[in-house]
Amino acid sequence: MATAPLAAAPVLAAAASTSPGEGIAFWILAVLAVGGAIGMIASRKAVHSALWIALTMVTLAVVYLINAAPFLGLVQIIVYTGAVMMLFLFVLMLIGVDASDSLVETIRGQRVAAVLVGAGFGVLLIAGFGNVAFSRTVGLDQVTTDAGGNLQAIAAAIFGRYVFAFEATSALLITAAVGAIVYTHRERLIPKPSQADLAQARFASATAPRAPLPAPGVLAQRNAIDVPGLLPDGSPAAESVPAAFRAIDDGPVATADSSGPAALTADHGESR
């Protein structure tokens, strides 16, 4: 499929007027998009910056939709806002953003280089705005009519003229995904313990319990947490009482209405 309809000649050959509603919508969306970009730069937290970027991306998607480019609008929402933004948030969760940025210039001359790059970018923006202001343009419907529609024209451009750039971008994204997986992978220095290893470590000590301890209040008249459970022989199991509720002398724990170990033993005898 030929890509001639996408050339600049047919675009500059015809003239079209912009409706008042389209102009109003453009300026409203432009303010939202620029505001989101400024909010992204001015936000102190990276999560807030990501949300501002999402606002800008959704606004650009609406601009595509009102300019008869539904495919670009949906791709902008699904790919950028849905996938890329989620990727940003996942990266923030993985690496963390608790460290504050340093205001000290660590690389000599980076501020001067940033000013020069920003000035050059501003010149490009002014040149682009001037070209748009003093040239005649038409809508996307008229430009992509000969190609069969907006989707067909985009497909012809991507898989025809820009197929190398498209494949290079795909390879770059795959490399970035593999790099993220490698970055988050942690080498295990020792083998993962199996269930048999955990059991051997648990029963290595001779005093380790071989069975689950009885719960507090088992076979007793009271269901208080400080009442020890009874063993099969009828004696109280002091280990079933939490350490915070045990007696200081390591003796049996008395109940709420008892005054000593004797009362506790009698209470357990009655419970049987």
144-173 residue pLDDT tens: 677 677 778 888 888 888 889 889 988 998
The CA distance from 272 to 270, in Å, is 5
**Residue 257's pLDDT is what?**
44
269 has pLDDT over 50: no
- Which one has a higher pLDDT value, 203 or 18? 203
Please compute the mean of the pLDDT values over residues 21-50 and round it to a whole number: 85
Delineate the domains of the chain, giving CATH numbers in brackets.
Answer: 4-98+110-184 (1.20.120.1200), 214-271 (no CATH)
185-197 residue pLDDT tens: 777 778 888 888 8
174 has pLDDT over 80: yes
Please compute the mean of the pLDDT values over residues 244-265 and round it to a whole number: 51
The distance from CA 91 to its chain's CA centroid, rounded to whole angstroms, is 6
Provide the token pair at 160.
């025809």
198-247 residue pLDDT tens: 888 878 877 776 666 656 545 555 667 777 777 777 788 777 787 777 76
41-76 residue pLDDT tens: 888 887 888 888 888 988 998 888 888 788 888 888
10 has pLDDT over 60: no
267 has pLDDT over 50: no
**Residue 178's pLDDT is what?**
87
The distance from CA 171 to its chain's CA centroid, rounded to whole angstroms, is 23
- Quote the percentage of the chain above a pLDDT of 70: 66
Taking CA atoms, 63 is separated from 37, 67, 218, 228, in Å, by 16, 6, 71, 72
Model pTM score: 0.44
> Residue 85, exposed/middle/buried by CB under 10 A (0-12, 13-18, 19+)?
middle
125 has pLDDT over 80: no
